[in-house]
Amino acid sequence: MKKTKAIFSGTDVEILERTHVNKGFLQVDKIELKHRLFAGGWSDIINRELLVRDEAVGVLLFDPTRDQIALVRQFRVGALEDDASPWLLELVAGMVDTNEELKEVARRETQEESNCEIIELTKICDYYGSPGVSNEKVTLFCAKIDASNTGGVHGLAEGHENIEVVVLSYNEAQDAVQSGVINNAMSIIALQWLALNKKSLLNAWD
């Protein structure tokens, strides 16, 4: 593990100044800093803009009895220039409120976005989606559900959510990753994890 262990930590960064430059729907901070160098010493002063985000949770909804995956489709402004469509197939997902447990978020967002109840919940991983520009940390779960009556359009009106639930077979979902129909990191990571861990997951859920 020596090659993968970090030799620096947060104490090897000196923040000289940090200011909020935008506090609307998105918060952006301007940060002036310097950090230690691999060759020794310190870097020059660096200016960066940071997109500040709360932690997020994503949930892969899997019905092992029917071998089906439930995903959600909704409009995403970041995909406005996508040649196919800015309506993306994704996992159920949401932001973590203050003092809220991650598993509570997973259950709440699953209910709000898909109207499904979680039977079992297994953690997949934590990751940073775009650490070069944002501090957002994502925790992924795989949830056991009953997809027999899953479908429809859901979401909170006050959040301008208009979310279609799409149920695919396991193979159709994996094919959608291969073909690029599913083209967002959260969904790709979760579905590839399931491909690698499906047998052990089913054993754990028995």
Q: What is the pLDDT of residues 123-161, one digit of tens each?
A: 999 999 999 999 999 999 999 999 999 999 988 877 788
CA 64, CA 203: separation in Å to the nearest integer? 11
**Shared domain check, 114 and 25:** no
Structure tokens given for 169: 């077979």
Is residue 84 situated within a structural domain?
yes
pLDDT over 60 at 1, yes or no: no
On whether the CB atoms of residues 147 and 51 are closer than 8 A, the answer is no
Is residue 5 situated within a structural domain?
no
Provide CB contacts within 8 A for 22, sequence distance 6+: 28
pLDDT over 80 at 12, yes or no: yes
Q: Of all residues in the chain, what percent carry a pLDDT higher than 70?
A: 99
Structure tokens given for 107: 């259950």
Structure tokens given for 18: 């940090």
Is residue 2 situated within a structural domain?
no
DSSP assignment string, the chain: -TTTS-S--GGGEEEEEEEEEEESSSEEEEEEEEEB-TTSSBPPPEEEEEEE---EEEEEEEETTTTEEEEEEEE-GGGTT-SS-SEEEE-EEEEPPTT--HHHHHHHHHHHHH-PPPSEEEEEEEEES-TTTB--EEEEEEEE---TT--SEE--GGGT--EEEEEEEHHHHHHHHHHTSS--HHHHHHHHHHHHHHHHHHHHH-
**Range of the structural domain that residue 144 is part of:** 56-205
On whether the CB atoms of residues 33 and 13 are closer than 8 A, the answer is yes
**Shared domain check, 145 and 84:** yes
- For residues 17-24, give the mean pLDDT: 92
pLDDT tens profile 110-119: 999 999 999 9
Q: How many domains, in total, are found in the chain?
A: 2
pTM (2 decimals)? Answer: 0.92
CA 135, CA 10: separation in Å to the nearest integer? 13
**Shared domain check, 33 and 133:** no
**Shared domain check, 25 and 42:** yes
